[in-house]
Structure 1
Amino acid sequence: MASPSSLLSWPHRAISLSFQPKNPSPSPATARVSVQDPPPPPSDANPSPGRSSNTSRYVWVNPNSPRAAGLARARAGSGRRARLAAAAAALAACEAGEAPVAAALEAAFPEPPSEQDAVIVLNTTSARPAAVVLALWWFLRNAEVRKEVILYNVALKALRKRRRWSDAEALWEEMLREGVQPDNATFSTVISCARACGMPGKAVEWFEKMPDFGCSPDMLTYSAVIDAYGRAGDAETALRLYDRARAEKWQLDPVICATVIRVHSSSGNFDGALNVFEEMKAAGVKPNLVVYNTVLDAMGRAMRPWVVKTIHRELVSQEAVPNKATYCCLLHAYTRARYGEDAMAVYRVMKDEVMDIDVVLYNMLLSMCADIGYVEEAEEIFRDMKASMDSRSKPDSWSYSSMVTLYSCTGNVAGAEGILNEMVEAGFKPNIFILTSLIRCYGKAGRTDDVVRSFAMLEDLGITPDDRFCGCLLTVAAGTPADELGKVIGCIDRSSAQLGAVVRLLVDAAAPSEPLREAAGELLGGARGVVRMPYCNCLMDLAVNLSQMEKACALLDVALRLGIYSNVQTRTQTQWSLHLRGLSVGAALTTLHVWMSDLYAALQAGDELPPLLGIHTGQGKNTYSYKGLATVFESHLKELDAPFHEAPDKAGWFLTTSVAARHWLETKKSAELVAV
């Protein structure tokens, strides 16, 4: 056994290392470890209270122990890392020329570098792409390289990071000229580079080359190319590759799942997107924030806000931290579905977190508020927009349009005019949407002269009226007193001569119904589908308000013949029903009049009525009024003394029995059934 004295006279080169202990003492004393110095005497290890607390402490390490070898390796590794970091920094600082690059690397590596050294420098340098390629060539000539493809892959990765597709293609060609065989990592890097550069077609092209070089896709390649096919619009191939990856027992990862969810969402297959999300959880793959954001966006596009709420609660329960993208997905989902409370809650969280909200998100919120009557909330949002220091958050013409729409629907003329003045002062010209809303506002307030003045503004700005604008004028006409109706009809004439001719036939009490029927058929037959029902509703409202029930019935006949109103009446052995949901008040009263006449005619013909008769109005209310169609109909049925009563177990339904209906119909004459 060696004596202590022999250990003190260690014949080899001395090793002196210092380290910081894993759990340092609160004392500021520095610990030094030496395999050359002897152990300190006990008096030094426990200094007396009178000695300085700054005295260094020494710990002796047996040079034959594994600990000494580990310390030596750590010191050597630290030096190597520093040398390679310096080489990467020197490469980043030099010019992108062959001579400067060679000089920098020769200075950093007096001796031939290893393959691993070359990999580390190429992977960590922030040099220009040209300098990276030159450094690659220098390493290939001077380093001890066993597999050249590894260095090419690292250089391609550096080009991918900088999104230099042309340089990556050129390096690929150089690689093939030098006879270097690409491997899976090469293709994965090139494919992901094409995807990062926004070139999904190139990614697909490189994927299809893999069999020619004897390469088979791995999980990373599948993930990149599935996304590439999806972005290239080939959803079928993307999903087929996903099925192939699963069949080959590749482990699902969040990247692949997020990609497939995005592909399903882009193609409109929202059930498929949700199935992939549930499938990955069943397979034991924990969704990350990217997956959560992707599926939230998909469910928002699918108009499934209840699913969005469930997934958001799950995200929070999994202790994932939502980011701005998460809140943007939530806002998109809730504003589309008009979930006002949820959307405002998300908005206030974003405000509290001081997140950037651009004008697009603000406008989505304002549009939602205008649709559901959130006046105070819209005013809060609009104030925040104007107070924002970010130019991307300032109100634009769409913001002002939403505010004018909000005030016009509530009949707030002063508010609408104030927003219009602010808009003009901000340098925006009124567009057709703002003028449409303004005319609707003046019409509700009974200010016909201001309707005409706003229409003149439209002509002065050179704006051509569209179908919706004409529909707005029809709505105003339906609520305008007869003595001022001519002013509004003049505006309708100048907007659409064909529509004006139909309105004039309608309001002319001396004109027969047949010319109106023909003219309305031509008008509605050529109108766009989105405006045909609003036109019918407004025209029948106008006819009912003018006590022109015969002409209202002619318009209803045209609408039924053209399929504008469908399934208005249904008959079964046990119940005959009238479905009025979605109709205006005038259209609903006209339809009721025709139905009552049909019932009376059935009795006159000796037909038996079913045990139950029902009228379905729906239970919804107008956003800006406490009166819905059900409320109006309930009052009207009472005026008629009709035996229909609101069903307690079926909201929006008015029911009666055949016995009560027969008795009521027999006591009335057909012409007296509906008092309009």
Structure 2
Amino acid sequence: MAATPVSTALDVRCSIPHPSETKRPIFFTSPLRLPTKRFTISCTSSKTSFSKSPPKPPPNLEQQSPSLSDQLKPLSTTILSDAPKKDEPPQTHLLAKPKSTWVNPTKPKRSVLSLQRHKRSPYSYNPQIRDLKLFARKLNDCDTSEGAFTAVLGEIPHPLTRENALLVLNSLRPWQKTHLFFNWIKTQNLFPIETIFYNVTMKSLRFGRQFQLIEDLANDMINNDVDLDNITYSTIITCAKRCNLFDKAVEWFERMYKTGLMPDEVTYSAILDVYAKLGKVEEVMSLYERGRASGWKPDGIAFAVLAKMYGEAGDYDGIRYVLQEMKSLGVQPNLVVFNTLLEAMGKAGKPGLARSLFEEMVNSGINPDEKTLTALVKIYGKASKQTRNWLPSSNCLKKRKLGFETVKDEFRGILSDTAVESRRPFCNCLIDICRNRNLHERAHELLYTGTIYGLYPGLHTKTAEEWRLNVRSLSVGAAHTALEEWMGTLTKIVKRQEALPELFSVNTGAGTHKFSQGLASAFASHAKKLAAPFRESEERAGFFLATREELVSWVQSRVTSLAVTA
């Protein structure tokens, strides 16, 4: 196509330096020829005739930049509010690398997050801290009823100033006490209730997963014209995420943008996790790319979110993209990221790559924990015979007919080559492998040997009133083995008619991590399989209880059933 010359008036703003005067802007509204300078302008136009397009008016040079809400409008309309159509299947797979977006260097892409962490309030020393800490301990120890709590409030040792109230509020641990004290402060009307008081209370409520109370406090802040800052929104969003209220998390994220407040890195990583849990891969990667275009350097937590998302989808290309991004940005994976990537590799069916990743983890100086070795056991169970050879290949896992002394000696040799902090997780891993291979007797021998070598201190505790089995530091297979061993010992004691305490308990732990929750559910399932009399406690989270009468009745029923079978 032949080029056609186009003549048009230019509206140019430039600065011409002159040795005798300062720079000043000069405007040209008519064609101007410069004898010593030439400009070549290349452009691409559509087939539409120029004559059909009305001339554009010159821009208003004094027009202000668009407001923050206008800048963020594309984000809320294209990402946060779009729901997938009913006819379209949900997206679970993404290409190895998201599509790149061209950015005009003179007009950088609009920022969607603040690159600065929200600054905490400056610390000031309180000379009355000792007395107030003792008072807070009294509040923590008193009954949770409002009457008992109010009675202790009358013993406050110093006047209720802003600093004293904040110190006590921050020292209360049960969320019920924090909420009661916060409401009591409001009734005193001694000073304005600022954002920091709400934030401290919300964080305590988040620990108790009390999202409705947190949302009520947020609405109270709005009604009383108290500013919601990044910490406030981050607490609301993360609490909604912990309570699996993902729609609520997205709702408050949208409300945050509408107020013109930019999320910081913590809030941004949290909302990435929310969208990942919802399975919205497209939205997650769009937010990720927008954040990167704004200058954000993701940390290990953000990459763990991406790796887990791709792992759940079994998307190996996505996992490879995460690894490439981390290397290009110089982000060194920590233990959490390595564990997440190993789980993702297992779900993607890549045991060989999981092996390389595990070796990289060890070479970087990071020691594996229970979660690492649990992930390896899962991969090991799915892997082919050739791939399994890199996992522990001792005779104690291969040969069934070995004496206990041989097993103990070989196990001692394995432990001598293992770092001290990794020995217990390693023993848990071996027990899990034995149970997966139906080597239950060998699993019991390994547990006993690990107990002899001091790997499980505090596994059994005894008082006159209660005997307890503590399995919170064990893997699922090791916990099953410990329960079977304990029940066998208790059966012998009952048969010998020895003295027994009133209560028996098992502690599986009450952590928020999925490993703790999974251990409790797996233990409950195994106890049911054994018909053991343990029931989950309603008052003590992570505990399973049985009375002396229930245990004796269970032993007698087993003896009867065995006699009938014989």
Q: What's the TM-score bracket when you normalise by the shorter of the two chains?
A: 0.5 to 0.7
The counterpart of 1:431, out of the listed 328, 333, 343, is: 333
CA distance in 1 between counterparts of 2:288 and 2:213 reads 30
- Does residue 360 of the first structure (1) align with residue 266 of the second (2)? yes
- Does residue 284 of the first structure (1) align with residue 189 of the second (2)? yes
Alpha-carbon distance, 1:586 to partner: 0.9
CA distance in 2 between counterparts of 1:482 and 1:305 reads 38
CA distance in 2 between counterparts of 1:306 and 1:659 reads 38
How many residues get paired? 408
Equivalence map 1:304-319=2 (5 Å) = 304=207, 310=213, 313-314=216-217, 316-317=219-220, 319=223
CA distance in 1 between counterparts of 2:524 and 2:132 reads 54
Structure 1 residues 586 and 523, CA gap change in structure 2 (3 angstroms): farther
Alpha-carbon distance, 1:399 to partner: 1.9
Structure 1 residues 628 and 552, CA gap change in structure 2 (3 angstroms): closer
Partner residue in 2 for 1:400: 303
Please state whether the residue corresponding to 2:242 is helix, strand or coil: coil
1:342-400 CA distance string (max 9 Å, x none): 54443232134342113232124446x59xx8243676354323235862556455422
Contact 1:637 1:644 in 2 (8 A): yes
Contact 2:132 2:168 in 1 (8 A): no
The counterpart of 2:483, out of the listed 592, 597, 608, is: 592
- Does residue 515 of the first structure (1) align with residue 405 of the second (2)? no
Structure 1 residues 657 and 595, CA gap change in structure 2 (3 angstroms): closer
Structure 1 residues 364 and 596, CA gap change in structure 2 (3 angstroms): same
- Does residue 540 of the first structure (1) align with residue 431 of the second (2)? yes
CA distance in 2 between counterparts of 1:432 and 1:577 reads 35
Contact 2:172 2:178 in 1 (8 A): no
1:503-545 CA distance string (max 9 Å, x none): 6364242472222554577678x634xx666444323212222
Please state whether the residue corresponding to 1:357 is helix, strand or coil: coil
Structure 1 residues 624 and 314, CA gap change in structure 2 (3 angstroms): closer
- Does residue 661 of the first structure (1) align with residue 563 of the second (2)? no
1:422-465 CA distance string (max 9 Å, x none): 62696556735545433332334553223234456x38xx9514
Structure 1 residues 437 and 626, CA gap change in structure 2 (3 angstroms): closer
Contact 2:195 2:227 in 1 (8 A): no
Partner residue in 2 for 1:480: 380
CA distance in 1 between counterparts of 2:513 and 2:166 reads 37
Structure 1 residues 620 and 611, CA gap change in structure 2 (3 angstroms): same
Greater Rg over alpha carbons, structure: 1
Equivalence map 1:605-624=2 (5 Å) = 605-607=496-498, 623=514
1:565-615 CA distance string (max 9 Å, x none): 636576877x97756566433112211321232134335535488899887
Partner residue in 1 for 2:242: 338
Structure 1 residues 384 and 276, CA gap change in structure 2 (3 angstroms): same
TM-score norm. by structure 1 comes to 0.47
Contact 1:358 1:392 in 2 (8 A): no
Equivalence map 1:517-596=2 (5 Å) = 518-519=412-413, 527-528=420-421, 534-557=425-448, 560=451, 562=454, 564=456, 566=458, 568=460, 583-596=474-487
Equivalence map 1:160-199=2 (5 Å) = none
Gaps of 5+ in 1: 1-197, 201-226, 241-245, 493-499
Structure 1 residues 451 and 310, CA gap change in structure 2 (3 angstroms): closer
Contact 2:431 2:443 in 1 (8 A): yes
Gaps of 5+ in 2: 1-119, 135-155
Structure 1 residues 335 and 549, CA gap change in structure 2 (3 angstroms): same
1:178-210 CA distance string (max 9 Å, x none): xxxxxxxxxxxxxxxxxxxx9x9xxxxxxxxxx
Please state whether the residue corresponding to 1:412 is helix, strand or coil: coil
Partner residue in 1 for 2:141: none
Structure having the larger proportion of residues in helix = 1
CA distance in 1 between counterparts of 2:427 and 2:130 reads 43
Contact 1:477 1:489 in 2 (8 A): no
Partner residue in 1 for 2:199: 296
* Structure with bigger RCO (C-alpha 8 Å, 6+ apart): 2
Structure 1 residues 346 and 393, CA gap change in structure 2 (3 angstroms): farther
Structure 1 residues 387 and 592, CA gap change in structure 2 (3 angstroms): same
Aligned amino acid, residue 279 of structure 2: E
Structure 1 residues 430 and 379, CA gap change in structure 2 (3 angstroms): farther
Please state whether the residue corresponding to 2:458 is helix, strand or coil: coil
Equivalence map 1:628-643=2 (5 Å) = 630=521, 634=525, 638=529, 642-643=530-531
Partner residue in 2 for 1:50: none
1:459-507 CA distance string (max 9 Å, x none): 8xx95141137962564146524985674563x6xxxxxxx6xx63642
CA distance in 1 between counterparts of 2:125 and 2:535 reads 55
Q: Could you list the runs of 4 or more consecutive aligned residues of structure 1 that deviate by over 6 angstroms after TM superposition? A: 237-240, 246-249, 265-276, 569-573, 608-622, 624-628, 648-652
Aligned amino acid, residue 374 of structure 1: K
CA distance in 1 between counterparts of 2:476 and 2:238 reads 29
1:286-319 CA distance string (max 9 Å, x none): 534xx23344136527864557864662463462
Structure 1 residues 379 and 515, CA gap change in structure 2 (3 angstroms): farther
- RMSD (Å) for aligned C-alpha atoms: 5.4
Please state whether the residue corresponding to 1:480 is helix, strand or coil: helix
Contact 2:165 2:185 in 1 (8 A): no
